[in-house]
Structure 1
């Protein structure tokens, strides 16, 4: 249960102001079928985060037990600091938009997640909770949906109300806290 809650919280907070959240806003403005957009986000996130989580579990086997917690804790702290850097919307790929809301959302979201902060966080979380990889996958996926579904339905209004700077600072704090806890409990 720790893996699910930690993964959900970390990704839901880290996603605020992220480029994939901006992509959700773009897709919601472009397509009327909000259910198709959300289904595309769900499928893309499940595929991307499942691959990322399994990568994290695979990488964990090469980390010596003595340095593992330090490496994982340090990784959480680095990702936390990375969250302070604002993302830009790079969703100008209009070629896939002709295939409709579901396909465009799925493809663009999957591509946007490659190398993204939340994908790296998923790798790290899976390495930290390697015995609960499915909980990490579900937690990060649900966290992604928790951050993006409101944007699909009420994006422009929501983004006017939430300070992205404060959201980034809170997300940074959560990741640094996870890093410190990982190191201390080693």
Structure 2
């Protein structure tokens, strides 16, 4: 097996397993109960591709992790903001209802920002950095980036499917409150983590 194929396969498997039950997967489920699945998946894919490109670059060039204290603090504040926004709820005017594409862009942007912040300094980012140090060379680095990105998107895609199924059977108010609680929990988790490890 070539360096590219080995790096892709191993990175896919490692990140898929690392992402199962991770806060990012729970966040994907939460977003999927509020938005259409495709914009959420697009946002996750965009954020993951960027974060994992940075991870691979760090692993390849520096071999060290980025400082995570301030990133974790910013992510904690952002999650509390997402929680408040979710509790407030959204109502659309007739004019806004007609602009469905704007709503899709908002879902993509919200998912992208949330996932970007959540993944910086997360175990999947650190795992990707570590994998990149194990597969030097252009083929290995590209394989690590591709495998880790696809592995994470696959795990979060599973969470979206579960979230969409729940969304059809659970009252909207319960979903909104549950989503807000999860965002507050993510914020608290990141805040505590920042001060314990910072």
- Cα offset, 1:10, TM superposition: 0.1
Instruction: Please list, as runs of the form range in 1=range in 2, the aligned pairs for 1:5-154 lying within 5 A after superposition.
Output: 5-31=9-35, 33-60=36-63, 91-94=79-82, 100-131=106-137, 132-154=140-162
**d(CA) in 2 for partners of 1:16 and 1:157?**
18
- Cα offset, 1:48, TM superposition: 0.4
Tell me the SS of whatever aligns to 2:108: helix
Residue by residue over 1:78-109, the C-alpha shift from the partner in whole angstroms, topping out at 9 and shown as x without a partner, is: xxxxxxxxxxxx94432787872100000000
Q: Number of paired residues?
A: 129
**d(CA) in 1 for partners of 2:150 and 2:54?**
16
TM-score norm. by structure 1 comes to 0.63
Asked if structure 1 preserves the Cα contact closer than 8 Å seen for 2:37 and 2:164, the reply is: no
**d(CA) in 2 for partners of 1:93 and 1:136?**
33
RMSD: 2.4
Asked if structure 1 preserves the Cα contact closer than 8 Å seen for 2:48 and 2:115, the reply is: yes
TM-score norm. by structure 2 comes to 0.60
Greater Rg over alpha carbons, structure? 2
Residue by residue over 1:125-181, the C-alpha shift from the partner in whole angstroms, topping out at 9 and shown as x without a partner, is: 0011122111100000000011010111223879xxxxxxxxxxxxxxxxxxxxxxx
Of 39-48 and 97-106, more deviation after overlay is shown by 97-106
